[in-house]
């Protein structure tokens, strides 16, 4: 475990972030008082931020995951026949 002052951290941030990514905890101090910690990501955390945000949204209940588990797309269900679509399009163009 290392400790670093805020000013030094600001000047050498990349170095300390690499240390944390490698598994080391870095204590951030301000006037010899610990104010924050840089810690390695937990093993359960996704490496991709987008995946983590999706997982958090599911946990919060903001979104609901899809119910399709087979991986196959559901069969296409056309809204209307091609003929009906063309009739509506012609009617719209006449207006």
Predicted confidence at residue 37, as pLDDT, reads 96
The answer to whether residues 27 and 4 touch, using CB atoms and an 8 Å cutoff, is: yes
Q: Is residue 17 part of a domain?
A: yes
Tokens of 33: 């008082």
Confidence band of 20 (pLDDT split at 50, 70, 90): very high
Tokens of 84: 């009906």
β-partners of residue 30 are 33
Q: Is residue 16 part of a domain?
A: yes
Instruction: Tell me the per-residue pLDDT of 33-50, one tens digit each, with 9 for 90 and over.
Output: 999 999 988 776 666 667
Domain that holds residue 49: 2-60
Q: Is residue 66 part of a domain?
A: no
Q: Is residue 84 part of a domain?
A: no
How many structural domains does the chain have? Answer: 1
Q: What is the CATH number of the domain that holds 34?
A: 3.40.1620.10
Nearest to 38 by CA among 57, 51, 23: 23
Phi–psi pair at 45, nearest 5 degrees:
-75, 135
């Amino acid at each position: 475990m290392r400790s670093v002052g805020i000013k030094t951290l600001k000047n050498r941030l990349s170095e300390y972030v690499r240390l944390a990514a490698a598994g080391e905890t870095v204590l951030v101090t301000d006037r010899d008082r610990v104010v924050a910690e840089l810690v390695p990501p937990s093993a359960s955390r996704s490496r991709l931020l987008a995946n983590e945000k999706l997982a958090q949204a599911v946990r919060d209940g903001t979104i609901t995951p899809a119910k399709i588990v087979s991986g196959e797309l559901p069969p296409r269900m056309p809204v209307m026949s091609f003929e009906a679509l063309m009739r509506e399009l012609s009617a719209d163009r006449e207006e």
